[in-house]
Amino acid sequence: QDMPTLRLSSVVSDNDIRAEAFAKIAESVTDTFDMQVFNGATLVAQGSEMTAIQRGNLEMGLIAPQTIAEQIPEWSIVTSAYLFDDADHLQATFDSDVGGELISLAEEAGVHVLAPVYFGTRHVNLAPEAEVMTPEDLDGITMRMPGGDAWQFLGEAIGANPTPLAYAEVYTALQTGAIDGQDNPLPNDYNMKFYEVTSQIVLTGHLVGFDVLAIGAELWDSFTPEQQETLQTAVDEAIAESTQRHLDREAELVQFFKDEGLEVYEPDRDAFREFAQQKYLESEFAESWPEGMVDRINALTE
Amino acid sequence: MSWEFGVTVAVTVFTAVIGLPIGHAMLASSVFYLLMQGQDMSIAFEQMLTGLYGSYVLLAIPLFIFAADLMNVGSLSDRLLDFCRALVGRFRGGMGHVNVVSSLIFSGMSGSAIADAVGMGRIIINLMTKDGRYPGSYAGAITAASAIIGPIIPPSIPMVLYALVSDTSIGFLFLGGVGPGLVLGVMIMAMNAWQARIHDYPVEDPVPVRDLPRVTLRAVPALLMPVILLVGIYGGVTTPTEAAALAALYAFLVSTLLYRSVSLRMAYETVRQSAKSTAAVGFLIAGALAFNYVVTIEQVPSVIRDALGDTELNRVTFLLIVNAILLGLGCLLEANAILLVIVPIFLPTAVSLGIDPVHFGVIVVVNTMIGLATPPYGLLLFVVTSITKSPIRETIRHLLPFLAIMIAGLAMITFVPEIVLWLPRLYGYNG
Amino acid sequence: MTTASPFVRRLRAIADAVPAILLAAMFVCFIIQVFMRYVIDSPVGWTVEVCVIAWLWILLWGQSVSAEETDEIRFDIVYGSVRPEVRRWFRVVFSLLLVGIYLWSLPALWDYVTFMKIQETSYLDIPFSWVYSAALVFSAVSILRYLWIFWNAARNRDSGLGTADDIGRKDFSE
Ligand code: NA
Ligand code: NA
């Protein structure tokens, strides 16, 4: 009974697709590891998973790339708008040399990346009815974005007026008109019932949303190759399935939202992409990006 | 659950009973737990720090405290008190009724019971205890009881969290809370009328009708406060959290510019006092954040799940058990943690027993809110005693009848689903 | 109540001023936030950061440096009803326990707070080691305060009468 204990902390709720994936991982490694999953940010507060792992107080965490970027500025590249086209592009990047560079930067900081965990592509969701085709149409639109300057900049990069607001307050704020809109992947719009208080979803696809499933680097290195393989295989299988389920869910939800009476349409994505990439390149964030990495990631779409 | 957990609970209770301030008792025993487990002792502090750093919604608390204190020094409270006395002073327990009604109105603003208690509660407590008409402990008890209504009537943060984990409509949940909120309000008022008779709380000489316009006019700025807040929120100017700041700004402007009753010196004194109260209340939350880690790491929820897993239940016993467990957990866990972690455990069973998820959600929210006021560990209880500065034992004594009636109300809501569901159904909910 | 020297009173005033100024700053930030979003239509985010930092410091500073025993929220059912002699012993026990635990954990806390310099706040780029140093102040000052409480209780000087009885009187005379 000297199986290593792996405590995983995540912010997803217990009935989330990702929570099911974690449960599945725990289930398939049960002969090798005592893996305990804590969802709902009950074990470690949102955003402090990385430091908890670095200090050896947590074995595994679902870490937002924005959190990693706070310590490793190079990582801010993967939090920028219109970098990845879709979940495949995301996975391909992490499988490539570019991904390898980012992963080894994290490794040096004491965090071993097991997998990127896709949870949907972010789209703009608005209460006002005016049609949005270009970033200029979002001018003057007050849009809730998660707190932190990287997130707020993302809002600016698509032409909106970003404002931070607690996730739990968004529904009421949309209802009362304190904010005009918010951005989230479709499954989140569904889970948080934003469709009840908004009129349209603009399929901007401005950010491929993902977190990083990670484990303490030192702990990982202490495992035998067999243990490593057991865990990695379980993760790869469960996350691949989770990604597919998210993609299916997103496709399904477009129809659902239409049935609920929302306008769901695609804007001029090229206009958005051009506007956003310009904004990013002029910003302080781009300064920390490794030379030529954007181009190398772009090249991976073919 | 480990033996260390048992020891930790024992240490918390022991140190709190012999008089260590509760925040310290929870924080120190969490550190002690980590020490026994051979873990990094800084985790308890880390939990406290990261939890507080991420608690944006709680920021309404200091601002509501500040607004209430400004109303008191700025004579807004006095004018409001004269008005209330003129209106309800002749009835026994009149101010208690004012307390409940104002909670019902203000619950339309805040989604958090603690913010309700420190906001409107603080003002009304001061009105009730001025001139010794009501003991502070009674004022505190009825404030705690009526603050429970806050998150039951929309908007409500606990309901948003429930909707997230249960896949129900927030809109219908909000509507579902209205009926129970009103029912509980009426029940608390009935209990207040009875208690006022038992304790023989004083009645005022009736104010002559010809004085009413004058008294009302004097109170207009204070009476405008809730109007401004509701317009601020429902007009889309502020979020509920920010509304607290708007309230403070309004109280500040009225008392300095209109009444000229607040000097710079007094303003500073008010900020100083508000900061002190904020620290006292906030530290309770800080201690609870540290202690929460212990409860989580001990996997108390899955222990419950396993215990329930192999019992055959019918609808009534299931609801009774859920209510009992939630009330019990209210002693240990923070309300949000209960909603996010415990609800998913019960929900599948509830649905399979044919319990409507909106109905179940309202039951759960009412339950966790009652848990905030139940001794021994009840955040609301501590918050109101920190306002009234009366002994906890006295407050609990006065609170018990109210808790009894709240639990009766909970039973009613549990077994008469129509109280919850009539309004959502009216708006097209088919459940 | 003991009378304090002018020097002590000045220290007290300074200790109290810190949370007061922070609360005022929080208030102003919230107003700016609403004003910028609703009136100017150009929302800002840094105000939230100032507010949470202020909130953290108000709590931890307020419950240590500027704390007075009457402000602390305690469970007084037993504590308030026992004889003064027993209460004095209660004070000896709980203060000793608290000092012991906080002292024992102080190195670990130091380690954590200094470690957090690797992360900075989002808008103001303040290292978290500075933000969270409030906990070091809190722990160190609490240790000293409770040593003082222990010392007075052990020397038979103070049985906490000034707290429980004050509170009790207030309930019925206010
Ligand atoms: Na409410
Ligand atoms: Na409780």
Average pLDDT, stretch C96-118?
96
Please state which of the ranges A252-256, B352-356, B427-431 shows the lowest mean pLDDT.
B427-431
Selected for mutation to probe chain B from A36, A171, A180, A256 (highest B CB count within 10 Å) is A171
pLDDT of the residue at A59: 96
Instruction: Choose among A51, A70, A164: nearest Cβ to C45.
Output: A164
pLDDT score, position B156: 77
The answer to which of A41-45, A156-160, A171-175, B257-261 has the lowest mean pLDDT is B257-261
Phi, psi of A126 (to 5 degrees): -120, 150
DSSP state of B111: S
Domain ranges (residues) in chain C: 1-67, 75-174
Which positions 22-61 of C are in contact with A (Cβ < 8 Å)?
A: 37, 41-43, 45, 48-49
pLDDT band at A127 (very low <50, low <70, confident <90, very high): very high
Amino acid B265: pLDDT: 86
What per-residue confidence (pLDDT) applies to B332?
A: 62
User: What percent of chain B shows pLDDT beyond 90?
Assistant: 23
Between B163 and B335, where is the model more confident? Answer: B163
**Same structural domain, B67 and B142:** yes
Q: Are residues B324 and B188 in the same domain?
A: yes
Q: Dihedrals φ, ψ of A293, to 5°? A: -70, -35
How many angstroms is it from C8 CA to the middle of ligand 2?
A: 39
How far is it, in rounded angstroms, from Cα A208 to Cα A89?
9
Mean of pLDDT over chain A: 93
pLDDT for the residue numbered B55? 76
What's the pLDDT score for residue A236?
Answer: 96
**Separation of B383 CA from ligand 2 center, angstroms?**
12
- Please, which pLDDT band fits residue C173 given cuts at 50, 70 and 90? very low
pLDDT value at A257 more than 50:
yes
What integer is the mean pLDDT of B360-371? Answer: 89
Counting the structural domains of chain B, the total is 2
Span from the CA of B224 to the centroid of ligand 1 (angstroms):
19
Give pLDDT, residue C172.
Answer: 38
- Say which range, B280-289, C72-81, C153-162, has the weakest mean pLDDT: C153-162
How near does any CA of chain B get to the CA of C40, in Å? Answer: 12
Q: Which residues of chain B does C30 touch, with a Cβ-Cβ cutoff of 8 Å?
A: 59, 63, 242, 244-245
Verify whether the Cβ–Cβ distance C42 to A148 is below 8 Å.
no
> Does B99 have pLDDT greater than 60?
yes
DSSP letter string, A175-197: HHTSSSEEEEEHHHHHHTTGGGS
Kindly report the nearest CA distance between residue C1 and chain B, in angstroms.
17
Higher pLDDT, A157 or C69: A157
B155 has a chain A CB within 8 A of its CB: yes
- Is the predicted pLDDT of residue A198 greater than 90, yes or no? yes
- Are residues B16 and B93 both part of a single domain? no
As a whole number of angstroms, the distance between CA B414 and CA B53 comes to 37
Which range has the worst mean pLDDT, A118-122, B129-133, B136-140, B306-310? B306-310
| pLDDT attached to residue C165 | 46
Q: What mean pLDDT, rounded, does chain B reach?
A: 84
Residue B277 binned pLDDT confidence (cut-offs 50, 70, 90): confident
At B109, the pLDDT band (50, 70, 90 cuts) reads low
- Asked if A164's CB is within 8 angstroms of C48's CB, the reply is yes
Least confident interval from A71-85, A188-202, B57-71, B245-259: B57-71
Confidence at residue B333, expressed as pLDDT on a 0 to 100 scale: 64
| Average pLDDT value over all residues in chain C | 86
Question: What distance in Å separates residue B22's CA from the closest CA in chain C?
Answer: 5
Residues B72 and B14 placed together within one structural domain of the fold = no
B226-268 residue pLDDT tens = 788 778 777 778 877 788 888 889 888 888 888 777 788 888 9
The answer to whether residue B331 is domain-embedded is: yes
The answer to whether A55 faces chain B, any CB pair under 8 Å, is yes
CB contact at 8 A, C108 and B42 = yes
Selection from B84, B94, B150, B93 nearest residue B117 by Cα: B150
Residue C1 confidence class, pLDDT cut points 50, 70, 90: very low
**Chain C touched by A163 (CB under 8 Å):** yes
A80-92 tens-digit pLDDT: 999 999 999 999 9
What percentage of chain C exceeds 70 in pLDDT? 89
pLDDT given at position A204: 95
Rounded to an integer, the average pLDDT of A92-112 is 95
Residues B28 and B90 in one domain: no
Q: Which of A174-178, A244-248, B96-100, C70-74 has the highest mean pLDDT?
A: A244-248
Give the distance from residue C126's alpha carbon to the nearest chain A alpha carbon, in angstroms.
12
Other beta carbons within 10 Å of C122: 21
Mean pLDDT value across residues B183-208: 88
- What's the pLDDT band for B311 if we cut at 50, 70, 90? low
In a domain, B48, yes or no: no
Q: Which of A34-38, A277-281, B188-192, C155-159 has the lowest mean pLDDT?
A: C155-159
Show which subunits contact B, needing at least 3 CB pairs below 8 angstroms. Answer: A, C
- pLDDT above 70 coverage of chain B, percent: 94
pLDDT of residue A143: 94
Phi-psi domain of B78 (left: phi exceeds 0; alpha: psi -120 through 50; beta: other): alpha
Domain membership of residue B50 (yes or no) is no
Res. B175: pLDDT tops 50? yes
For residue B14, what are the domain limits? 1-40
Mean pLDDT (whole number) for C121-130: 91
Mean pLDDT, range C93-117, rounded to an integer: 96
Residue B91, SS3? coil
Summarize the confidence of residues A112-137 as an average pLDDT. Answer: 95
Distance from chain centroid for Cα B311: 34
- Whether B136 and C171 lie within 8 Å, measured CB to CB: yes
pLDDT in tens, C26-78: 999 999 998 998 888 888 889 989 999 999 999 999 999 988 887 788 877 78
> What local confidence, expressed as pLDDT, does residue B108 receive?
59
pLDDT of residue C109: 97
Taking residues B351-379, report their average pLDDT: 85
Would the CB atoms of B31 and C101 count as touching at under 8 Å? yes
Instruction: Confirm whether B408 is domain-assigned.
Output: yes
Looking at this predicted complex, what is its ipTM? 0.88
In a domain, B95, yes or no: yes
pLDDT at C156 over 80: no
Q: Among partner residues B167, B240, B344, which is closest to A172 by beta-carbon distance?
A: B240
How far apart, in whole angstroms, are the C-alpha atoms of residue A53 and residue A119?
22
pLDDT reading at A60 higher than 50: yes
pLDDT tier at A191 (50, 70, 90 boundaries)?
Answer: confident
SS3 A124: strand
- pLDDT at position C168: 41
Angle at CA B55, nearest 5°, toward B53 and B61? 115
What integer pLDDT is reported at residue B300 of this predicted model?
74
Test mutation, C40, C78, C101, C163, chain B, max B CBs within 10 A: C101
B14 with B125, same domain? no
Q: What does the pLDDT average to over B370-393?
A: 82
**Angstrom distances, CA of residue A64 to CA of A47, A70, A294, B78, B293:** 7, 10, 20, 51, 21
Chain B residues closer than 8 Å to C168 by CB: 391
Q: At what angle do helices C46-62 and B264-297 cross, to 10 degrees?
A: 90
Q: Is A149 on the interface with C (CB under 8 A)?
A: yes
**Chain B residue with minimal CA distance to C159?**
B19
Residue A203 near residue A266, CB atoms below 8 Å:
yes
Could you give the CA distance from residue A120 to residue A246 in angstroms, rounded to a whole number? 6
Mean pLDDT value of segment B194-205: 85
* CA-atom Rg of chain B in angstroms: 22
pLDDT recorded at residue C169: 36
Q: Which of B289-298, B351-360, B362-371, C123-132 has the highest mean pLDDT?
A: C123-132
Q: Is the pLDDT of residue C100 over 70?
A: yes
Whether the per-residue pLDDT at B72 is higher than 90: the answer is no
Within 8 A of A55 by CB-CB distance, chain B residues are 40, 42
Of A228, A194, A212, the residue nearest A75 (C-alpha): A212
